[in-house]
Amino acid sequence: MIKFLLMVNKQGQTRLSRYYEQVELGKRASLEADVVRGCLARRKEECSFVEFKDYKLVYRQYAALFIVVGITENENELSIYELVHNFVEVLDKYFSRVSELDIMFSLDKVHIILDEMILNGHIVETNKTRILAPLLALDKMAES
Amino acid sequence: MSDVVEKTLTALPGLFESQTGAAKITNRLRQLIKSITELTSKHEEENLIKRELSAIKEQVSSPNTTMKQMREIMVRAMYCEMLGYDASFTYIHAIKLAQQGGVLEKRVGYLAVSLFLNEGHELLLLLVNTVLKDLQSTNLIEVCMALTVVAQVFPKDMIPAVLPLVEDKLSHPKEIIRRKAVLALYKFYLIAPNQVQHIHAKFCKALSDKDPGVMASSLHIYLQLIRESPDSYKDLTGSFVTILKQVLGGKLPVDFNYHSVPAPWLQIQLLRILSLLGKEDQSTSELMYEVLDESLRRAEMNHNITYAILYECVKAVYTIHPKAELLEKAARCIGNFVLSPKINLKYLGLKALTYVVQHDAKLALQHQMTIIECLDHSDFTIKRETLELLFRITNAQNVTVIVEKMLDFLCYVPIKTLTFAPDNSWFIQTMNDVFSIGGDLLQQDDPNNFLRLLAEGKPEEDDQLRLYAVESYLTVLKGHTSHLPQCFLQVMSWVLGEYAHLQESVDRREVIRLLTQLLDQRSVSSETRVWILSALTKIPEGQTDLILDLAESLSSSQDTVLRQQAQELRHLSQDSQLREWVLVENSCAVDSSLSFLDGFVSEALAAGAAPYKPPHQRQEELSLNLEPYSFSLPVSLSSCSITDRQSPTLLSVSSGLSGNSAELSTLILEGVKRVWGKDGYLPQKEATAPPVDEPSAAVQPASQQEAAERIEPRPEPSTQNQDKQQLASSLFVGLGVGSSVSLVRKLFYDGFTASLRGNVMDCLEARSTSVCHYALLMDDPHTNVSLTGTVSYQTQPGHTNTLPFSGTLSTADFIRPLVVTTEEYGKLWLSLSHDVKQNLKLLTDAGDPLRTTLNALKDALQLHVVDIIGSEGIVACRLLSGAPCLLHCRVNGAALAMWLRSPHPALPDFILYHCQRALAHH
């Protein structure tokens, strides 16, 4: 099961966070700081999975941005690693080459995309066309 | 690899001017984002967000704020909460936005609700009407978002209100609506399973939906249902297999592909479901062999995602009922993983290996050199996973090396490993290291288990161990003690209090002095002080002066518990009669029958309380108990991994109260001297070859030299390599010993061998006929034995006639009832180590299914039914003049859970086979 998904930049600033299991607001900042520290401490040649408290972190770096997913022990790390890439490919498709600023300016839309892919910590859709369909429909209605 | 362009901060101003990509962004949000990117300190952040929050507060309360502005306000509030600042005053406005906004605003309102509010938040009740309205909307987008939010957060009590609407959507013409409805129902099932009990038929319809997305969504429900009760969904196995086949065959539309792999996450989900269904169920497993084989074959493409699928597939192959051919292929796949230069694959390979060595420890042998390399890997994660793997192959021969490695790494020594300790001094010394290094990081249970292990041994046998502990602790206490962790001090004081008297040479005054010294230390916690005082109380009388001094000094302590204890100590040391009465020697003796409660119990019963039921009966009623009795044996890991396919939960040392942790109470000291086993080292050339099943009569090198000589043929081994090989040989000893699953299966298919013994019993002389009786005994069980032979006889002198004859015998012909009493059965059961578990068909055509089934087995196989109690029955048999086999049968739903044990490793398998046949033919 997926516990959370974070987008954090190299400076440790959170750009997006989605928790699938309740974490108190007050504890999130320190948890995110720990997560970033855990990932930044890793070298390139080390594997993309880190043990963290009682779960595992799967992280993937895109330019200055880290996408980190917290998962339970019984998850398949590599499939989550690829899920992250699928997510980025979807963002790329929607924003036509996504950047950190796109994510910041369209925080709500990135969330809407993510909601189509992951629900309650489960992977529910990975088909790019279908992930984007609701958001594209919304955009169309907003234009007209 | 990354297509993401990093737009640097220097490009920011331009972006803000041009507003590309975010054309509709309003001023305030843009300002906020700009300020956030410019933050340099936590303090600045705090000020910024505080200002922002008060601005938001002002705006939301203004009557002129439009819905469009409200949408932007929500995004700003999301930023504030994301940075960890409370914006709870906006929650109600999020609900309003969802209620009143246009489509886009509504979506953002719903999004804010799902981000801000946890399940159970009272404001959610205000959302119910909006959701109801949107579910009935003619606008598909609105229906869609309502279903999304229902699946994310929805008050449990209000489920009945929306349930009929959501159910309706299951037959909606649009796939996306059907899909979301299924996911909403899944959520309902998770939080309130009773509410959706009646719609199982609809789940089934969703599974066979023509749209792959809807079908895939229903798998979430099925994975959950099957995890909870695999037996109820066996009939769906065929459907899951067909779906997986279609996915593998590329029948899905192309947009389901990810990097040309068809729906990989769907495949993974299906593999998980199949492995749950096939677990410990031969006939169901047989249905999936073909598709698993295909899945293994298709993974040629060299992409991460195919490896993710492969990993899941390998796990499935090792979870379900084994098939030699598949196991071999899966083992080869693991080889590809662990030998991969890609570090992520290596990690996953180790994880897979950790899983499969529980079923076949020999697999670790093939990869021993890789494992050794990973053990010294610079990557912490890899190292950690390797230790996990080593932990699972620990046995009596390799324990010292493995524990040393674990201690090196960090104090990560699961206490259970130490049940293989080779001798007392090593054990105590290692525990000292564990306690002093790991100290208070240890799990609460670890010190307790250690003490229990010391306490529960038999006085004669384990006094040695206790003596050693006492001596060792006295030495430790004489040194520097201020750095020692509290739990170690507690352990030491308990042991000294309990066992110091065993060591006659020890001066008791010295013990008291050492313990008192501890009391004076500042670093000692008050909890530890209580332990120390208890220990002092237990040290036998005679040292009244010291004790009284101590009690005196503590009587003014600020800690009330200590003061209380000091009082008690004083009384006890002055009143020897009271002391004898309170402190019975060997106070560990526990009245396990709790007879002192009898009065209380009978009173309670008289007052109408329910009679006590032992835990296994209580579990029975919940039909959760999979084990016949709660006894458990000190089984060595290697035998465990072969016989018990239920993957023992090795990591958690179970809590002191559960019956299963009995394994801890004995140290397994057998086989200590044999340090170098035959499988000590296998040269790497053989690493890819399948494991050799030769009988253990082979080589058994006696010393390290010999083992090293054996590996000579390797071209120019560097010293470093040699070190590794030596490490390998000490880590992997004892793994190949004992029969493995594949070996047993092999016997199964072998038609016959010459292991029958026959002797002439007697020959009846007669004029023209002679009758000869031969007794055939079966030493090693086989399913079928063809018996061929010839009879030579002479009718005329010098002329010999030969008549060939043949016949087929099966194990069943050699099975005889074993008449034992229930008590004898119980004893015998405990002494047997080879066991097999399987669910069999239950004959349900009569009133008492268990009795009918057992009688059918008795008739077909000459078994002796020892006893039937409730839904459990015990049955015994033996091979003719050979090994016994005990069968424990329990009704488990519609199946008969059978657990067989025998001293002969293969016998249970054969008996099981015949039982299956007998029941199938009935």
* pLDDT tens digits, one per residue of B431-458: 777 777 666 666 666 777 777 777 776 6
pLDDT at B401 over 70: no
Among B487, B488, B479, CA closest to B517: B479
d(CA B743, CA B747): 7
Residue among B26, B82, B147, B302 with most chain A CBs within 10 A, to mutate: B82
Q: What is the number of residues in chain A? A: 144
User: Across the interface, which of A46, A89, A105 has its CB nearest the CB of B33?
Assistant: A105
d(CA B584, CA B140): 78
Q: Answer whether B5 sits within 8 Å of A99, measured CB to CB.
A: yes
Q: Answer whether B255 sits within 8 Å of A128, measured CB to CB.
A: yes
CA dist B325 → A49, B320, B331, B333, B906 (Å): 32, 13, 10, 13, 20
What average pLDDT score do residues B597-623 get?
A: 69
Quote the tokens at residue A1: 């099961």
Q: Answer whether B3 sits within 8 Å of A92, measured CB to CB.
A: yes
Amino acid residing at B215 = M
| Residue B541 DSSP label | S
- Report the chain A residue with the minimal C-alpha distance to residue B72: A108
CB B542 within 8 A of CB B576: no
**Residue predicted with more confidence, B523 or B329:** B329
CB A55 within 8 A of CB A70: yes
Among A71, A95, A91, A81, CA closest to A131: A91
| Residue B320 DSSP label | B
In sequence order, what DSSP letters do the residues of B653-677 get, joined into one string? PPPTTSGGGGGGGS---TT-S--S-
**Which string of b and e fits A45-57 if b means at least 16 CB within 10 Å?**
ebbbbbebeebbb
Q: Would you tell me the crossing angle of helices B486-499 and B459-478 to the nearest 10 degrees?
A: 130
Residue B511 main-chain phi, psi, to 5 deg: -60, -45
Instruction: Give the minimum alpha-carbon distance from A68 to chain B in angstroms, rounded to a whole number.
Output: 15
Contacts of B77 in chain A (CB under 8 A): none
Run of H or E including B284: helix B282-298
What local confidence, expressed as pLDDT, does residue B161 receive?
92
In tens, the pLDDT along B657-673 reads: 333 333 333 344 343 33
Strands B864-869 and B799-810: unpaired
One pLDDT digit (tens) per residue for chain A, 144 residues: 999 999 998 888 899 999 999 888 888 988 898 898 888 888 888 899 998 877 899 999 998 899 999 999 889 999 999 999 999 999 999 998 888 899 999 999 999 999 999 999 999 999 999 999 999 999 998 887
**Residue found under tokens 């299956």:** B916
Residue among A88, A95, A114, A124 with most chain B CBs within 10 A, to mutate: A124
Q: Answer whether A97 sits within 8 Å of B2, measured CB to CB.
A: no
Using a 10 angstrom Cβ sphere, with 0-12 exposed, 13-18 middle and 19 or more buried, the burial of residue B235 is: exposed
What local confidence, expressed as pLDDT, does residue B78 receive?
95
CA dist B892 → B836, B841, B850, B896, B901 (Å): 16, 10, 10, 6, 19
Q: Answer whether A138 sits within 8 Å of B33, measured CB to CB.
A: no
pLDDT-above-70 percentage for chain B = 70
Residues 6+ apart with CB under 8 A from B425: B468
Residue among B1, B2, B3, B4 with most chain A CBs within 10 A, to mutate: B4
Q: Where are the alpha helices (DSSP H) in chain A?
A: 25-40, 77-95, 100-105, 107-117, 128-143
- What's the half-sphere exposure (Cβ side, CA atoms, 13 Å) at B370? 25
Instruction: Give the minimum alpha-carbon distance from B216 to chain A in angstroms, rounded to a whole number.
Output: 8
Q: Answer whether A141 sits within 8 Å of B119, measured CB to CB.
A: no
Q: Answer whether A47 sits within 8 Å of B213, measured CB to CB.
A: no
What local confidence, expressed as pLDDT, does residue B765 receive?
52
Quote the tokens at residue B399: 């324990």
What local confidence, expressed as pLDDT, does residue B568 receive?
83
Sign of dihedral through CA atoms B158, B162, B166, B167? positive
Contacts of A111 in chain B (CB under 8 A): 78, 111, 115
- Report the chain B residue with the minimal C-alpha distance to residue A101: B7
d(CA B500, CA B498): 6
Contacts of A61 in chain B (CB under 8 A): 2
Q: Answer whether A123 sits within 8 Å of B141, measured CB to CB.
A: no
pLDDT at B8 over 80: no
CB A4 within 8 A of CB A19: yes
d(CA B817, CA B865): 8
Q: Answer whether A92 sits within 8 Å of B4, measured CB to CB.
A: yes
Among B525, B522, B532, B573, CA closest to B549: B573
Q: Where are the alpha helices (DSSP H) in B733-819?
A: 741-749, 811-814
CB B633 within 8 A of CB B664: no
Sign of dihedral through CA atoms B116, B117, B122, B124? positive
Bridge partners (DSSP) listed for residue B261 = B258
d(CA B174, CA B152): 21
Residue B320 main-chain phi, psi, to 5 deg: -80, 180
Instruction: Give the pTM.
Output: 0.59
How confident is residue B470, by pLDDT bands cut at 50, 70 and 90? Answer: confident
Quote the tokens at residue B248: 């593998």
Among B497, B903, B428, CA closest to B667: B428
Range among B19-33, B97-111, B513-527 with highest mean pLDDT value: B97-111
- Report the chain A residue with the minimal C-alpha distance to residue B191: A120
In tens, the pLDDT along B176-222 reads: 999 999 999 999 999 988 888 888 888 889 999 999 999 999 999 99
- Report the chain B residue with the minimal C-alpha distance to residue A58: B344
Q: Provide the number of CB pairs (under 8 Å) joining chain A to chain B.
A: 185
What average pLDDT score do residues B864-870 get?
A: 86
CA dist B6 → A10, A48, A89, A97, B731 (Å): 12, 21, 15, 10, 48
- Report the chain B residue with the minimal C-alpha distance to residue A18: B115
d(CA B295, CA B347): 21
Q: DSSP strand E in B269-391: where?
A: none
Strands B884-892 and A2-9: unpaired
- Report angle CA B854, B858, B863 to the nearest 5 degrees: 110
Instruction: Give the minimum alpha-carbon distance from B407 to chain A in angstroms, rounded to a whole number.
Output: 19
Instruction: Give the minimum alpha-carbon distance from A105 to chain B in angstroms, rounded to a whole number.
Output: 6
> In chain A, what is the greatest distance between 2 CA atoms, to the nearest angstrom?
50
d(CA B719, CA B731): 18
pLDDT at B56 over 90: yes
Among B497, B518, B493, B495, CA closest to B508: B497
ipTM of predicted complex: 0.96
Using a 10 angstrom Cβ sphere, with 0-12 exposed, 13-18 middle and 19 or more buried, the burial of residue B691 is: buried
- Report the chain A residue with the minimal C-alpha distance to residue B118: A22
pLDDT at B874 over 80: yes
Contacts of A82 in chain B (CB under 8 A): 258, 264, 304-305, 308
DSSP collapsed to 3 states, B835-874: EEEEEEECCCCCCCHHHHHHHHHHHHHCCEEEEEECCEEE
pLDDT at B852 over 90: no
pLDDT at B675 over 80: no
What average pLDDT score do residues B92-116 get?
A: 93
d(CA B364, CA B349): 11
Contacts of A142 in chain B (CB under 8 A): 102-104
What average pLDDT score do residues B602-619 get?
A: 72
Run of H or E including B155: none
d(CA B158, CA B147): 14
Amino acid residing at B47 = N
CA dist B536 → A134, B570, B891 (Å): 73, 11, 53
Rg over CA atoms, chain B:
35
CB B94 within 8 A of CB B112: yes
Run of H or E including B824: helix B822-831
Contacts of B217 in chain A (CB under 8 A): 124
Sign of dihedral through CA atoms B730, B732, B734, B737? negative
User: Across the interface, which of B308, B346, B384 has its CB nearest the CB of A79?
Assistant: B308
Averaged pLDDT score across all residues of chain B: 75
Run of H or E including B805: strand B799-810
d(CA B230, CA B387): 32
